[in-house]
Amino acid sequence: PNFVEGLDRSVTVSQDMTICSGQTAILQASGCAHNLSWYKIVGNVSTLLPLTDAEISVSPTINTCYVASCCDSLGCCSDTVCVTVTSMTLSGTSTDILCRERNTGSISGTLVGGIAPTTMTINPPVSASITGSTFSYNNLAVGTYTIIATDVNGCTTQQSFIINQDTCPCDTCYS
C-alpha cells in the first residue's frame, strides 16, 4: 500500500488473481472507513469507476489493474490489485471420409492461449496425437466430434467438428 504521512490507517486490497475469459473477479478493499474510490487501469489510462463498496465485482476482457483509494482531510492512501485474463481458442480443420464404411475422417489444429500445462479431450473419445498445442485425430467415422481444451487454471474452450461422408460412390472413386 501507498501511505501518506499523518494517516492513521491504510487500505489493502485482495491479492492479484487470474480469471478465465468471461468470468467475474471479486475484489475486496479493507481498512478504509469512508471515501473509498475504485479506479481501473488499462495500459497508461486510469478511469474512475462509479463504485464505492469495499467489495466489487469486475469482468475485464483484458489484463486490468484496479486501485482502491481511500481519502480524508489528511490525504489519500491506495493499494492495487491486478487481474490477469486467460483466453484460449481452438482452431482446426476436418477432412471428410473418402469412402463409405471406411474410417478415413480426420481433425487437426492448434490451441492458442491458456496457461500450460493444457489438456485436450475429444468426445466421443478416440485416440489422438497431441504435441504441445497441436492436435490430430485420425481414422474417424462419420459424426460430430467436440474437442475440449483445459488449462492449468481450469479455463476451458471447445470446438465442434463434423465429419461427413463424401458423395462419390466407392466403386467409382476407388478400384
All cell numbers assigned to 56:
466489487
Quickly count: other Cβ atoms within 10 Å of residue 96's Cβ: 15
The mean pLDDT value of the chain amounts to 87
pLDDT in tens, 34-90: 789 999 999 899 999 999 999 999 999 999 999 999 987 788 889 999 999 999 999
pLDDT confidence bin for 174, thresholds 50/70/90: low
Predicted local confidence at residue 7, as pLDDT: 44
CB under 8 Å to 48, separation ≥6 — which residues?
A: 37, 38, 39
Predicted local confidence at residue 3, as pLDDT: 44
Q: Identify whether the C-beta of residue 93 lies closer than 8 Å to the C-beta of residue 137.
A: no
Which residues partner with 38 through β-bridges?
A: 68
Q: Identify whether the C-beta of residue 50 lies closer than 8 Å to the C-beta of residue 117.
A: no
147 phi and psi, to 5 degrees?
A: -100, 130
Amino acid at site 75: G
